[in-house]
Structure formats: structure tokens, C-alpha cells
Amino acid sequence: MNSAPASVVELAQALVRIPSVNPDGDPGTDRTGEEACALFLRDFLASLGAEVRVEEVLPGRPNVVARFAVAEKKPRLLFAPHTDTVSVAGMTVDPFGGDIRDGKLYGRGATDTKGPMASMLWALRECRGLLPSLPHEIWFAGLMGEEAGQDGAKALAAKEAFDFVVVGEPTGLDVVFKHKVDVTARIVAAGRSAHSSCPERGENAITKLASGLLALQEELADCFKQIVDPVLGHPTFSIGTIRGGTKFNIVPDHAEAVIDLRLLPSQWKENEAEDVFRVMRGACPGLRVERIAGSQALDTDPSHALVGKLVAAGGKPAGAAWFCDAAIFSSRGIPAVAVGPGSIAQAHTEDEFIELADLERGVDFFKKFLHGLHIG
């Protein structure tokens, strides 16, 4: 680091000014990968007295993992925000400017999740004298790849065992202990091509797909109305994309749609949503229905003692429709939650920002949580 940040705001600015765009899809820049951010975090954490290592997960895309070592064996408590951001394409503010206007810090990652990360780190900085005496050994990890694939969380969860994980996300300081599972399905219609002047000689895959999607929508809507979770509500689905045909004067022989399903943890844990896919295949028997991706479920017991400590620090138990790295640890039987300052409504936006006051509230929250570990 050239000069040490003097406040949580300066730290958040420094993080935003380091491009760490996830290269998946259209990143909108050639400044991709998390390595520069990981190296910055390595130096900052080392300055706090942590043992730090940088672990490459994919080429040029490492995790940074820090341990505030103690002499005796204690339960391990991990703070784990992610270092990557989504694409900067279409942004209306300088994505790496870290500019401050009207009490807001602007730039890609300001909310998701460099702001929450800065609050966590600044709380650790201000509590660094307290850490050795806590009943937990404190760890911190800046995880790569959360925005696509979650490879950083998977790599760390496979390598290290933790007793509780606090993932950094912009939850407005709500303690998200449960979230839906994101499952992606592809619906494919096969037809037979012909000249469009004689459409009766072919079989129109687009028409076939459209008819099947209407039936599927009706069936899923009826099915999902019958399923409810007291925290998360009903499962949902959204038809996101449709592709088909090659030219206006050719009867299309292929068409496909991609559907985003947000399912309940119970639906996933029972049989990885196979019941849902059975319903989908029954609704459109002439189409091919296939699962192409699926996240994991977050479903931590809200009565866990450390959930209680987070609530005592000012958080509120909550669920979420989105998914995050907490589910990777949860799927391995490790209690995990997501919490941090800022609003998810500002994540991934063209003018992403976080309120400076929220950064300060985040620091206070995490400091109260750390001090509260001594109590009870």
C-alpha cells in the first residue's frame, strides 16, 4: 500500500479504485481478476498483525486468507466478503473512481461488497488489541469468484474447517440466515425446417416452445402457490431468455428458453429439486427440460448463539431471495450467515454507491459483535 487509509471511508475508496471485475460474460473492461485486490488486502491485514496467505484458485485469481493466530485452540470464526465485482458495462459513473458526492461513495463494488468488506476490516483494525482474548480465533478471507461459480468459497471450504462464517453482503445489517436456491433450467423445442412459403411442410419450433412455455407457466404458478416457507415465502420462476430461428423465411427447427427458478431450501435439500423438474416435464411433454446450473441452499439455525450475538449487535434475522457464498459453507454443515451495511437495491446498478453513514454504521455493528463475543 502506498499510504495507509485513515478511515473506513478511505479504505472503501481504495478498494473501489482497484479493478477486480469478474471476467465471466461481458466484463465491460479488460481490467479483470482479483489479484490486485488480494495483494492490497494482504498488506492491510499483515499491518494488523494477521498471518496472511494468498492462494491462487484460478490463474491470476486468488483468495486472500488471514488468521489472527492465538496460542490455544479456539473455535474458528471467519469473516468472508468477496473481492470480485460484476461487469462495469453501461455504468454512468466512473466504476473505479471511488468518488464521493452528497455523502455517497460511488463505484463498482461500493455496495457489493467492497463497502461491507471495508466495514469488517475497519472493525477488525479498531478491535485488533481485543482479538487475542476473544473466545474465537478470528479469520478473514477475501473470496474470489462469488459473482460467477463461487470458486473461491468452494476452494476455502474444502481446505479449512470453520465453526461459524459471517459472509459480507449488503443486507442493511439484517442477519440473513436463510436464502433461496437459484436453479437455472433450459427448455428446448425441436422442429423441422422448411421454406416459409410452405410452413405446413415443417414444424415450427418457436410456436412449439411458446405453447409449451404458456402451459409451463400456468402449471408452475399453481404448484408454487401450494408451497410456502415462513421466512422466504413462495418459490418463484422467471422466463429470462428465448432464442430460436435462423432467418425470417425459414421455418425454425430449434428454439430454447432459459428459466430462472428461486426455490426453497427444503425443495433443494430433499432431492435437488427433482420434484420441480418432474412437474415441468409433465407440463410440456413435447419439450426437453434440463437443469443447467444450481446454487446451494443457506439454511442456518436462527437460534445459533452467534446469530444471537449478531442480533444483539443490532441486526435483525431475515431471509433473502438472492444467493451468496454463505450457502457454500452451509452446504458443508458450517453455520453461516450474510450481513453487512448497504442496500442490495444498489448492487449491480449503473451508478452503484454506498452511503458513507452506512459504512460507519457497519463498523459500529461489527465492533459491537466482536465485543459481544465476550458476553454470555
Q: What DSSP string runs through 64-81?
A: EEEEE--SS---EEEE--
Domain boundary among 294, 324, 349: 294
Domain identity same for 172 and 237 = no
The reported pLDDT for the residue numbered 2 is: 61
What is the DSSP secondary-structure string of 197-238?
TSGGGSB-HHHHHHHHHHHHHHHHHHHHHT--BTTTBS-EEE
One-letter amino acid of 231: V
Domain identity same for 150 and 19 = yes
Domain identity same for 145 and 249 = no
What is the DSSP secondary-structure string of 244-282?
E-S-TTB--SEEEEEEEEEE-HHHHHHHTTHHHHHHHHH
Residues sharing a CB contact under 8 Å with residue 193, sequence separation 6 or more, in sequence order: 202, 250, 251, 252, 253
- Parallel, antiparallel, or unpaired for β 51-58 and 61-68? antiparallel
The reported pLDDT for the residue numbered 78 is: 98
Residue 127 has which C-alpha cell? Answer: 478491535
Domain identity same for 142 and 20 = yes
CB 273 within 8 A of CB 183: yes
Domain identity same for 25 and 154 = yes
Q: Write the pLDDT tens digit of every residue in 231-285.
A: 999 999 999 999 999 999 999 999 999 999 999 998 887 778 899 999 999 999 9
Closest-CA residue to 145 (of 213, 222, 208, 59):
59
Domain identity same for 290 and 303 = no
Q: Write the pLDDT tens digit of every residue in 116-175.
A: 999 999 999 999 999 999 999 999 999 999 999 999 999 999 999 999 999 999 999 999
Domain identity same for 290 and 301 = no
Query: Does residue 3 lie in a domain region?
Result: no
The reported pLDDT for the residue numbered 238 is: 95
Residue with cell 428459466: 259
CATH number at 215 reads 3.30.70.360
CB 25 within 8 A of CB 9: no
Query: Does residue 311 lie in a domain region?
Result: yes
The reported pLDDT for the residue numbered 300 is: 97
Q: Write the pLDDT tens digit of every residue in 46-61.
A: 999 999 999 999 999 9
Q: How many domains is the chain partitioned into structurally?
A: 2
Domain boundary among 294, 312, 337: 294
Residue 135 has which C-alpha cell? Answer: 473466545
Question: How far is it, in rounded angstroms, from Cα 81 to Cα 337?
Answer: 11
Question: How far is it, in rounded angstroms, from Cα 319 to Cα 231?
Answer: 6
Say whether pLDDT at 1 is over 60: no
Instruction: State which residues form the domain around 283.
Output: 186-294
Domain identity same for 288 and 311 = no
CATH number at 133 reads 3.40.630.10
Q: Write the pLDDT tens digit of every residue in 169-212.
A: 999 999 999 999 999 999 999 999 999 999 999 999 999 999 99
- Angle subtended at Cα 169 by Cα 291 and Cα 105, rounded to the nearest 5 degrees: 125
One-letter amino acid of 48: L
Query: Does residue 136 lie in a domain region?
Result: yes
Domain identity same for 58 and 118 = yes
Query: Does residue 283 lie in a domain region?
Result: yes
